[in-house]
């Protein structure tokens, strides 16, 4: 197949850009620990209330300046519904769904994860600015989907 | 033309055939094939009309300007809008268009193939009615992604399964017609338009196998015959199809960019070999591309997700080849017409011709649309915009502009060709105005969706301020721009639907050609390996396995207890 010389240059540049893109994504994922939420633990979706740690949802201090938020999602709310964490602390959200597929998104941050029934999802964030962060469900989950939100108070 | 050629009198009939073919180019389309394609087109544009209005209602409700009644809620409207535009409009247009082109370039459809296409037509219509009745009754308000464990009425899934079977009918019809043509034309290349059709139908068939397995399982589960369902497996099977479908529409639009547009501007096609390689690459790399919809899902490792970034990005490569090819043709044609200097050739292009203007704007829209697509395939950028309005903005730019505007441009010659009528200068002007309204509408709507999505506004939700949260209130001005865009778009829909039915039934009688460009002169011969579809399908299946064997096996072997059905609306 004969290609136009300019097309070869164009494709070489394009291919180069895609490879650089890949390298950046790989570096971010594996060297900088910025990979997407991919936790692999499973749970019986019909027994969430009886299974630790979801039998006791809430905010827990797990270390020096480290917190864990154990959270269940169900139509149409987040439990716990009011979350308070200090500025600059490393906060890990451990979540599962008690019914259908929900989304967990914190507006103005890169916190964004799917929460599936049967699967435990984890995502970590350090809030560097104080404020009232809006948490919302970004996957359609039923008639009250637009009301499914809560607030994280960072003080 | 119903030429089924016997080998014994091949020579004689070949001579006859070329004469007949010549006669066809003068006399136009086979009436029975035209009727088939016109029926497909009519359904497509009725779906556009209804789906367009539903889209308008959504935009207005989302902006807080309209309250949808309790008997037809926002989420019902959203479900119906998705099904009408995503499944009906695009599928009926694609099949009507490719069947018209196969009839034209393969010397008429075989009678049994035409029959198959009609059976497929009615299966899809019946399937659509069976699926939409529960939607109207609020028994299937699950959106067109129908993620389990939200469970719709079993009839909804039965309807979807019938639609898929109808599409398969048309896919097999296309394979039979192309195979028959190859048998009667040994040593010849599949005509380029039919080559595109083959690629599209290969993807339609193989891409929809996974979702068919999902839907059939859902029928049993929602009917109570299966107790629980594996949520993640269903979702993965859905997206193996969900994104392939998008690329099928894109490949359909690309076929017009490569084959039709050069003829309309009075030029020639880009390298025949390269065009075929682009089709093959798009078919081979396509199906695993859907995985990037699951970048923030649990249950799959980061290594796997990284592999899939690579697999998704590989779709960009044939698109970048396309970008070069198209502008090469434009420049060459413009210069041949006397365009001088760096950009003088641009002035020589027929800007006042809707058959060129609409697909040209479509191509330009694909530059930011494709870039946005590349952004979304990568882990971290995807996490920023996942399930926000950015995504909705993205597919209204890719599908709603690049693909649909190309489809609109096609109607201005295809409908007159099928109805033995002509495109009048007045209708051309209507088309130009429609194209401009559509473009401006999409700029407003898609632009504001992209931006407000970056700010965090979610997709798939009715009007909400989340208890007057200050962040959510800040999104409102963009919703207003979104509503302005939507209003312009419905004007565009009305003009377009009027144009289609006017050209089908009322335009002046006459002959319109099916514009297929010749390849460039003095070109090297296209190698025969491009036609080895059996090989490309095997390679495609290998690539699909690379992408999907590991996650599917993992999700099945390490599955949590399944989920029972839920009704949350």
The model's pLDDT over B546-562, given as tens digits with 9 standing for 90+, comes to 999 999 999 999 999 99
**Pairing relationship of beta strands A149-154 and A82-85 according to DSSP bridges:** parallel
pTM score of the predicted model: 0.92
Residues facing B563 on adjacent strands: B229
CB atoms near residue B183 (< 10 Å): 10
pLDDT mean across residues, chain A: 93
B136 Cα distance to chain centroid: 25
CA–CA distance, A53 with A120 (Å, rounded to integer): 11
Using an 8 Å CB-CB cutoff, list chain A residues near B373: none
CA–CA distance, A133 with A72 (Å, rounded to integer): 18
Q: Does B380 touch chain A (CB under 8 A)?
A: yes
pLDDT at A49: 94
Give me the residue from A14, A101, A115 closest to B147, CB to CB.
A101
Using an 8 Å CB-CB cutoff, list chain B residues near A151: 469
Whether A142 sits inside 8 A of B569 (CB atoms) is: yes
Give me the residue from B274, B455, B462 closest to A1, CB to CB.
B274
Give me the residue from A22, A116, A149 closest to B299, CB to CB.
A116
Q: With 70 as the cut, is the pLDDT of residue A124 above it?
A: yes
Residues facing A17 on adjacent strands: none
pLDDT at B341: 85
Closest residue in B to A18 (Cα) is B313
Q: Give CA angle at B516 (B515, B521), nearest 5°.
A: 130
Residues facing B26 on adjacent strands: none
HEC-encoded secondary structure of B58-78 = HHHHHCCCCCCCCCCCHHHHH
Whether B294 sits inside 8 A of A114 (CB atoms) is: yes
Cβ atoms of B262 and B269 closer than 8 Å: yes
CA–CA distance, B191 with A77 (Å, rounded to integer): 57
Helix pair B533-557, B272-286: axis angle to 10 deg: 20
Interface of B with A in 519-558 (CB under 8 A): 524, 527, 558
The ipTM value here is 0.94
Using an 8 Å CB-CB cutoff, list chain A residues near B232: 116, 118-119
Cα(first)–Cα(last) distance of chain A, in Å? 64
pLDDT at B394: 95
Of the candidates B446, B494, B264, the one whose C-alpha atom is nearest the C-alpha of residue B357 is B264
Whether A120 sits inside 8 A of B298 (CB atoms) is: yes
Residues facing A133 on adjacent strands: A152
Give me the residue from B380, B462, B524 closest to A146, CB to CB.
B462
Q: Name the region of B387 (left: φ>0; alpha: ψ -120 to 50; beta: rest).
A: left
CA–CA distance, B457 with B321 (Å, rounded to integer): 34
Residue A63 φ then ψ, to 5°? -175, -170
Residue B282 φ then ψ, to 5°? -65, -35
Q: Does B14 touch chain A (CB under 8 A)?
A: no
pLDDT at B1: 36
Q: Does B451 touch chain A (CB under 8 A)?
A: no
**Residue A92, CB-side half-sphere exposure with 13 Å CA sphere:** 14
Using an 8 Å CB-CB cutoff, list chain A residues near B82: none
pLDDT at B289: 86
Helix pair B425-455, B354-377: axis angle to 10 deg: 20
Q: Distance, in angstroms, between A65 CA and closest chain B CA? A: 25
Whether B298 sits inside 8 A of A101 (CB atoms) is: no
Interface of B with A in 54-93 (CB under 8 A): 73, 75, 78
Give me the residue from A3, A116, A132 closest to B298, CB to CB.
A116
Q: Distance, in angstroms, between A60 CA and closest chain B CA? A: 22
pLDDT at B271: 87
pLDDT at B2: 38
DSSP annotation of A79 reads E
Whether B302 sits inside 8 A of A30 (CB atoms) is: yes
pLDDT at A5: 84
Strands (E), chain A: 58-63, 66-74, 77-79, 82-85, 90-97, 102-106, 112-115, 121-126, 131-136, 149-154
Q: Give CA angle at B89 (B199, B108), nearest 5°.
A: 50
Longest dimension (CA), chain A: 67
CA–CA distance, B272 with B275 (Å, rounded to integer): 5
Tell me how many residue pairs between chain A and chain B have CB atoms under 8 A apart.
227
Using an 8 Å CB-CB cutoff, list chain A residues near B315: none
Q: Distance, in angstroms, between A63 CA and closest chain B CA? A: 25
Q: Please, which pLDDT band fits residue A62 given cuts at 50, 70 and 90? A: very high
pLDDT at B12: 44
Using an 8 Å CB-CB cutoff, list chain A residues near B299: 38-40, 42, 116, 119
Cβ atoms of B170 and B203 closer than 8 Å: no
Q: Distance, in angstroms, between A103 CA and closest chain B CA? A: 8
Could you list the mean pLDDT of each consecutive 10-residue stretch along chain B, which spans 569 residues? 41 48 58 95 97 94 89 93 93 96 94 96 96 95 94 96 96 96 92 96 95 96 95 95 91 95 92 91 91 92 91 89 91 90 89 96 94 89 93 94 96 96 96 97 96 94 91 93 95 97 95 90 78 93 92 93 95
CA–CA distance, B230 with B385 (Å, rounded to integer): 26
Q: Distance, in angstroms, between B384 CA and closest chain A CA? A: 5
pLDDT at B4: 41
DSSP annotation of A50 reads G
Region A59-87: mean pLDDT is 94
Q: Does B434 touch chain A (CB under 8 A)?
A: no
Give the length of chain B: 569
Give the three-state DSSP class for A116.
coil
Q: Does B375 touch chain A (CB under 8 A)?
A: no
Closest residue in A to B529 (Cα) is A1
B511 Cα distance to chain centroid: 28
Whether A2 sits inside 8 A of B456 (CB atoms) is: no
CA–CA distance, B485 with B347 (Å, rounded to integer): 29
The model's pLDDT over B20-52, given as tens digits with 9 standing for 90+, comes to 555 455 456 889 999 999 999 999 999 999 999
Give me the residue from A37, A99, A139 closest to B387, CB to CB.
A139
CA–CA distance, B323 with B254 (Å, rounded to integer): 10
Q: Distance, in angstroms, between A66 CA and closest chain B CA? A: 22
pLDDT at A65: 93
pLDDT at A3: 72
């Amino acid at each position: 197949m004969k290609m136009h010389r300019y097309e070869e240059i164009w494709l070489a540049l394009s291919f180069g850009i895609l490879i650089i893109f890949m390298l950046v994504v790989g570096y971010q994922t594996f060297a900088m620990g910025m990979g997407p939420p991919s936790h692999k633990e499973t749970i019986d979706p019909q027994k969430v209330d009886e299974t630790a740690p979801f039998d006791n949802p809430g905010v827990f201090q797990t270390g020096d300046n480290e917190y864990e938020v154990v959270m269940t999602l169900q139509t149409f709310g987040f439990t716990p519904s009011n979350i308070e964490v200090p500025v600059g602390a490393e906060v890990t959200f451990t979540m599962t769904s008690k019914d259908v597929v929900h989304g967990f998104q914190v507006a103005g941050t890169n916190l964004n994860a799917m929460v599936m029934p049967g699967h435990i999802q984890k995502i970590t964030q350090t809030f560097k600015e104080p404020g009232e962060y809006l948490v919302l469900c970004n996957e359609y989950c039923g008639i009250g989907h637009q009301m499914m939100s809560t607030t994280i108070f960072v003080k | 033309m119903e030429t089924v050629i016997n080998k014994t009198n091949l020579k004689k009939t070949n001579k006859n055939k070329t004469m007949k073919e010549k006669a066809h180019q003068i006399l136009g389309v086979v009436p029975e094939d035209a009727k088939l394609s016109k029926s497909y087109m009519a359904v497509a544009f009725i779906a556009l009309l209804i789906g367009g209005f539903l889209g308008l209602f959504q935009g207005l409700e989302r902006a807080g300007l309209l309250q949808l009644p309790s008997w037809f809620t926002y989420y019902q409207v959203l479900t119906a809008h998705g099904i009408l535009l995503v499944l009906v409009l695009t599928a009926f247009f694609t099949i009507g268009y490719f069947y018209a082109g196969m009839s034209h370039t393969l010397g008429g459809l075989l009678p049994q193939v035409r029959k198959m296409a009609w059976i497929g037509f009615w299966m899809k219509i019946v399937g659509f009615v069976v699926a939409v009745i529960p939607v109207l009754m609020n028994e299937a308000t699950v959106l067109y992604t129908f993620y389990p464990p939200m469970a719709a009425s079993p009839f909804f899934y039965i309807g979807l399964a019938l639609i898929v079977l109808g599409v398969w009918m048309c896919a097999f019809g296309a394979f039979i017609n192309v195979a028959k043509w190859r048998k009667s034309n040994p040593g010849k290349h599949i005509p380029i338009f039919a080559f595109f059709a083959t690629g599209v139908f290969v993807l339609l068939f193989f891409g929809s196998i996974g979702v068919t397995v999902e839907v059939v399982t859902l029928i049993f589960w929602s009917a109570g015959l299966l107790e629980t369902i594996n949520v993640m497996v269903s979702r993965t099977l859905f997206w193996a199809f969900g994104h392939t479908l998008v690329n099928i529409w894109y490949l359909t639009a690309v076929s017009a960019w490569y084959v039709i547009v050069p003829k309309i501007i009075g030029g020639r096609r880009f390298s025949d070999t390269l065009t075929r390689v682009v089709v093959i690459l798009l078919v081979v790399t396509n199906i695993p591309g859907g995985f990037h919809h699951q970048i923030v899902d649990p249950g799959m490792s980061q290594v796997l997700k990284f592999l899939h970034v690579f697999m998704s990005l590989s779709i960009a490569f044939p698109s970048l080849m396309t970008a070069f090819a198209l502008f090469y043709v434009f420049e060459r044609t413009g210069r041949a017409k006397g365009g001088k200097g760096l950009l003088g050739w641009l002035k020589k292009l027929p800007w006042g011709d809707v058959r060129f203007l609409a697909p040209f704007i479509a191509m330009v829209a694909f530059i930011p649309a494709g870039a946005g697509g590349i952004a979304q395939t990568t882990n971290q950028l995807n996490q920023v915009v996942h399930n926000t309005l950015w995504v909705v903005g993205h597919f209204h730019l890719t599908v709603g502009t690049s693909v649909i505007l190309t489809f609109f441009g096609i109607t201005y010659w295809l409908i007159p060709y099928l109805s033995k009528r002509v495109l009048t200068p007045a209708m051309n002007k209507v088309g130009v105005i429609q194209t401009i309204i559509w473009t401006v509408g999409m700029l407003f709507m898609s632009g504001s969706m992209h931006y407000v999505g970056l700010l965090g506004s979610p997709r798939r939700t009715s009007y909400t301020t989340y208890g007057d949260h200050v962040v959510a209130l800040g999104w409102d001005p963009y919703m207003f721009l979104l509503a302005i865009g939507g209003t312009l778009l419905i004007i565009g829909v009305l003009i377009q639907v009027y144009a289609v039915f006017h050209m089908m039934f009322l335009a002046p009688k006459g002959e319109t050609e099916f514009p297929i460009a010749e390849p460039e002169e003095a070109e090297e011969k296209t190698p025969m390996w491009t036609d080895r579809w059996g090989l490309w399908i095997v390679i495609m299946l290998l690539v699909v396995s690379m992408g999907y064997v590991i996650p599917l096996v993992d999700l099945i072997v390490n599955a949590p207890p399944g989920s029972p059905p839920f009704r949350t609306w």
